[in-house]
């Protein structure tokens, strides 16, 4: 259902004219500068806070959508089995909103829209790393498909995100990947999974 929701929103996006599509994205993407504007009383709560939810279902292009949905398809089903359908949905949305807030903290005042399911899916990946670290993931290695333990793949992925996020600190805000949304989502998902597993 989550994959279907993302695909349907994207299909709606591509039916819009360029002007209408831009307006739709600006209205529903997460713009960090709107949070301090809201806190200062210069923007309504709906404009500042609702995009924390709506931005999770927007994508900047077909490859952006396909990449995110591939990761959600690979890692999502096992995590959903662990949490149950409703628990998984709440977990997914919580990771998406939390990762959006972390992105805002590291990009305070930025007027660049952030969109995509990456933060929520990063949370799913973090939970998978905690709950199923030894599960084998078929991975392309040159021209071969080889099984690799999930903890190695996800650990390597997280290190890449963390290094990129650290390298971007102190630099002028620019468009691109929301590294800290990925980092924050992954850590949040891992923490929730760890607490759930302990209980």
Q: Which of 35, 28, 2, 31 has its CA nearest to residue 13?
A: 28
d(CA 122, CA 72): 9
Whose structure tokens read 């829209």?
113
Pick the catalytic residue from 55, 99, 118, 122: 118
Q: Which of 55, 59, 99, 182 is catalytic?
A: 182
Check if 59 is active-site: no
What one-character DSSP code corresponds to residue 199?
Answer: -
Instruction: Give the separation between CA 177 and CA 160, rounded to whole angstroms.
Output: 12
Please name every residue paired with 114 in a beta bridge, in sequence order, or none if there are none: 30
Query: Is 182 among the residues known to form the active site?
Result: yes
Return the active site residues: 118, 182
């Amino acid at each position: 259902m989550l994959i279907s929701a993302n695909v349907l929103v994207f299909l709606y996006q591509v039916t819009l004219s360029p002007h209408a599509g831009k307006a739709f994205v600006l209205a529903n993407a997460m713009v960090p500068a709107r949070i301090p504007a809201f806190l200062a009383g210069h923007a309504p709560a709906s404009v500042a806070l609702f995009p924390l939810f709506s931005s999770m279902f927007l994508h900047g292009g077909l490859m952006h959508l396909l990449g995110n949905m591939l990761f959600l398809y690979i890692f999502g089903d096992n995590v959903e089995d662990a949490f149950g359908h409703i628990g998984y949905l709440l977990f997914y949305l919580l990771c998406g909103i939390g990762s959006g807030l972390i992105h805002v903290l590291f990009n305070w005042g930025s007027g660049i829209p952030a969109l995509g399911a990456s933060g929520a899916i990063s949370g799913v990946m973090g939970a998978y790393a905690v709950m199923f670290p030894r599960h084998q993931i078929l991975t392309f290695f040159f021209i071969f498909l080889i099984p690799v333990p999930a903890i190695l793949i996800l650990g390597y992925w997280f290190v890449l995100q963390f290094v990129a996020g650290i390298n971007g600190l102190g630099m002028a805000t620019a468009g691109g990947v929301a590294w800290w949304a990925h980092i924050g989502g992954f850590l949040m998902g891992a923490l929730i999974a760890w607490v759930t597993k302990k209980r």
